[in-house]
Each structure stands twice: as structure tokens, then as C-alpha cells.
Amino acid sequence: MKLGIESDTWGSEMRIVFATGNQNKLKEAKEYLEPLGHNVEQLLVAGKAPDFIEPQIEDLQQVTLSKLEQAIAMMPKSELSSCAILVEDSGLFIDSLKGFPGVYSSYAYKTIGPRGILRLMGQTKLRGCEYRAVSILFMQGKKIIKTGICRGEISLEITGNGGFGYDPIFIPEVSDGRTFSQMSESEKSSMSHRGKSLKALSEAISSPSM
Ligand code: ITT
């Protein structure tokens, strides 16, 4: 079955190739999109997740669009006509650090890590921050772009063992004081930036008006 005015594009059983090297992101995308009948797989080139060049731009959406262009260039033409490509870029934006690490979150994670962020913040009481995500689904020249934001605070210390990235120092606003690292994957995903953008994407491709 095909749906709505863009029925040639968004089908109900799509093969969605997710251009990411992050297994946590892959799992979260599967949770949102596979119950709708789609199949989500990781983009692999010569058997491994390709590296993407992340342009040094302050705009998350531009970074995500650049990832999409790179992913399209990596896909064999024959596959491009039959599957959808998913890309996502995300980051942690800390108010008192003027949005740092933001679009540099991946680099900051590999270099200074969550402990480095705690050191930069010291004991300041201004601990507000947000995770942001931009997810783009592309098929046959058409794109759906959806964003998600999760507001929270940076904890005073590393807390919890679950999740990835900055989760041990991120306390979502809607939580009872626990960091994302102290939550189950499904609890985190129900309030996370990525969860929100994926939910919006899944609603868009299921909507009869698409
Ligand atoms: P890709 O292959 O999809 O690029 P990545 O992990 O490098 O995977 P990004 O380039 O989008 O992801 O960088 C986002 C960084 O922000 C990521 O490395 C984490 O450090 C952090 N981040 C984003 N979402 C997060 C989340 O849900 N929990 C913890 N950290 C997160």
C-alpha cells in the first residue's frame, strides 16, 4: 500500500538505509520505524560504516544536509531508486558555554569527554542545556526534515552507566533528577531529542496528507 499525494515516494514498507556509525542511533531508529513495517539497516560501504566529513558550520541542519549529500554519493544508483536514506545529526548545547559543544559535540566527546565538560562548567549554578537533533529522510529526490529538542541540566558529577555520549551528565527537565544514563533505553527515547525527531518523521510518513 502507498499513501497520499506523494504516494510514489513514501511507501508503507520501505527499506531505510541509515547513514550512521552510532549503534545507539540505529537502535532508536529501528524502534520508531520498524513497527510501521519499514526495515531499517545501517549504511555500510565495503562492509563498514563510512566516515563522514562534518563541515565546521554552526547550523545542525546544514551539517545533516551535508551528511545526506555524502550518503547519496556513496549509494549505488540502482539502490537509490528503491530505498530511503536516513541521516541524523545531534549535539548538546550548553547555555552558559554559549552553545558549546553544539555542532562540535562529537569532537568534544572524543577529546575532552563528559569530564572535560564538567571541568569547564565548574560549580556554576547556570547548568541549563539542551540536546538537539535533526533527522532527514530522503527518497527519490524528496526530503522530510524533522527536529527534536530535549531541555535539561548538566549534573554536577558523572552519574549512571547506561546510554552513550553525554548521557551520564544530562538530566532531562522532565525527569525526577536522574540522568539519561540512569534510564532504560525506552524511557530515554520517550523524551529524547532524537526520539522526538524520529516520532515526527514516522508520523509524517504515515500521514495520509504526505
Ligand atoms: P553519526 O555516525 O551518526 O555521525 P555520532 O555519534 O558521531 O554518529 P553526531 O555526529 O550526530 O553522532 O554527534 C553527536 C554527538 O553528540 C555524539 O557523539 C554524542 O557525543 C552527542 N550526543 C548526541 N545525541 C546524544 C544522546 O542521545 N546521548 C548522548 N550523547 C549524545
pLDDT range class, residue 3, cuts 50, 70, 90: very low
Phi, psi of 84 (to 5 degrees): -100, 150
pLDDT tens column, 77-134: 888 888 999 999 999 999 999 999 999 999 999 999 999 999 999 999 999 999 999 9
CA of 12 to the centre of ligand 1 (A): 28
Domains and CATH numbers, the chain: 15-206 (3.90.950.10)
The bridge status of strand 128-139 relative to strand 39-42 is unpaired
Cell of 86: 536516513
Q: Determine contact, residues 179/159, Cβ cutoff 8 Å.
A: yes
- Compute CA distances 105 → 63, 81, 165, 187, whole Å: 12, 33, 9, 23
Active site residue 89: yes
Q: Determine contact, residues 119/182, Cβ cutoff 8 Å.
A: no
**Catalytic residue of the set 51, 89, 167, 176:** 89
**Residue 4 clears pLDDT 90, i.e. is over it:** no
Residue 47 burial (C-beta neighbours within 10 Å; 0-12, 13-18, 19+): exposed
- pTM of the entire structure? 0.92
What's the pLDDT score for residue 1? 33
